[in-house]
Amino acid sequence: MRADKGGTLSLDDRRRELEGRFFAERNEELLRKMRERNQYLKRAEALAAASGITDPKTLQTLLDLNVDAETLTAMALVPLVAVAWADNVLDTSERDAIMKAAADVQNETQMALLESWLAQNPGPELLEAWKGYVSELMSTLDAGSCKKLQTELMDSARSVAGAAGGFLGLGNKISRVEQEVLDDLESCFQA
């Protein structure tokens, strides 16, 4: 850099210094975005390998909902969570029924994900992602395995739906909105 007679930088040198700083910051931003994209692609590849899901939209939705290869097992609990939140209120007995169904979950990350779904309604996006997951899963299973999966998931979902409701333990324990969610879940297993 050239300094003028007074020891200060010339206008041209200052311009080059500012341009250098700008491009250095821009390069850092581009590198950060590239690293984030590479990280996303690695997570998507791992989830696809663990789940068999190939649909990019389903993979992206699951990743956006913090479901990855490590937390995939928690996807079996989505129907239970959807039924429990059908009326936008999670009853203690519904929570207990879900936790009983999740007794086999040993992974801390999976349990943390489930806890977040129980603490706050995850919304319809989670159920839609689950539907995409089940659709692809069903295409890979034989008829007997499909029926077994359907029976197990629907029995658990009905158990959660019946955990709360009724009056003093009498009457229909499954509300209309819970039944609608159960019907929606059931339709996912129809060919």
More confident residue, 130 or 28: 130
Enter the DSSP assignment of 38.
H
Q: Residue 170 pLDDT > 60, yes or no?
A: no
Mean pLDDT of 127-147: 83
Q: What is the pLDDT of residue 183?
A: 95
Query: Percent of the chain at pLDDT above 70?
Result: 92
Query: Which of 7-16, 35-44, 69-78 has the highest average model confidence (pLDDT)?
Result: 35-44
The span from the CA of 76 to the CA of 127, in Å, is 11
Q: Residue 102: phi, psi to the nearest 5?
A: -90, 15
**Neighbour tally for 78: CB within 10 Å:** 24
Give the mean pLDDT of the chain: 83
pLDDT at 95: 93
User: How far apart are the C-alpha atoms of 43 and 25, rounded to whole Å?
Assistant: 27
- What is the Cα–Cα distance from 36 to 122, expressed in whole angstroms? 24
Higher pLDDT, 142 or 101: 101
Instruction: Say which residues have a Cβ less than 8 Å from residue 114's Cβ, sequence separation at least 6.
Output: 74, 77, 81, 98, 102, 105
Structure-block tokens of residue 157: 């979902």
Q: What is the pLDDT of residues 75-132, one digit of tens each?
A: 889 999 999 999 999 989 999 999 988 887 778 888 898 999 999 999 999 999 899 8
Q: How confident is the model at residue 46 (pLDDT cuts 50, 70, 90)?
A: confident
Residue 171: pLDDT over 90: no
Q: DSSP class of residue 166? A: S
| Exposed e or buried b per residue across 26-41, where buried means at least 16 C-beta atoms within 10 angstroms of its C-beta | eeeeeeeeeeeeeeee
